[in-house]
Amino acid sequence: VRGELFVGNRRGLSLAGLPERVRVLEQQVASLEVKNAEIPSLKIRTASLEDRVSDLTSSLDAYKLLRNRFISTFKRDKLASATEADTRIIAAGNTWAHGGDAVVDALLYTGTGGRRDVTAFEKLYGMSPGAVQMIKHKETIDVLNTHAGVIASKHKTGSDKFYTLFAEFVKLFKESGDGLEEGYLDGYPTDVTRAYWAF
């Protein structure tokens, strides 16, 4: 009455505020359900960020120098097209550059001071630096690194079959799933799956 709570039976007074308490509790439950629904996506995002931190950690300046040396050595030894800048990079580089690292090498082609010899990168990895930067699938990166490690080596020689199988894998990988079909080892085998296992 006149904005005041009026109860005819005083024993029911404690129940008068019950609908409001239920409404507040329902809102809190709904809010918690929304937050709980976000947890799986937050876990995925956290894992993605941890992967990104790992990628960035491996691209420290010293490691970039090492990777620069790897590409320049390939240009010198296999393409016979090393420039004066490549010679300086090799001289300043570390002798640890033994194999491919597609992810970090792709980062060398970004920014204003990045490398511009994209053809050398593509001959090593079968793809452009931009395409490699979009790949997060470890098995695919391993294939690219294996090819680069063989083609750039003075001590390893790939057979014609090795290079043919690599080219077939890269071709099929680029053609499938907007060029980023990374689930080819899960579920039903695809042409990419067969090319991967053949390589």
pLDDT of residue 91 exceeding 90, the answer is no
With pLDDT > 90 as the criterion, what percentage of the chain qualifies? 44
pLDDT of residue 97 exceeding 60, the answer is no
Q: How confident is the model at residue 95 (pLDDT cuts 50, 70, 90)?
A: very low
What integer pLDDT is reported at residue 76 of this predicted model? 95
Cα first-last separation, the chain: 84
What integer pLDDT is reported at residue 131 of this predicted model? 93
Q: Which residue has the higher pLDDT, 8 or 78?
A: 78
**Tens digits of per-residue pLDDT, 134-167?**
998 889 999 999 999 999 988 889 999 999 999 9
Q: How far apart are CA 102 and CA 125, in angstroms?
A: 7
Q: How confident is the model at residue 170 (pLDDT cuts 50, 70, 90)?
A: very high
Helices 138-151, 118-125: crossing angle, 10 deg rounding: 110
pLDDT of residue 8 exceeding 70, the answer is no
Mean pLDDT value across residues 76-95: 85
Mean pLDDT value across residues 171-199: 86
Backbone CA torsion sign across 178, 184, 187, 193: positive
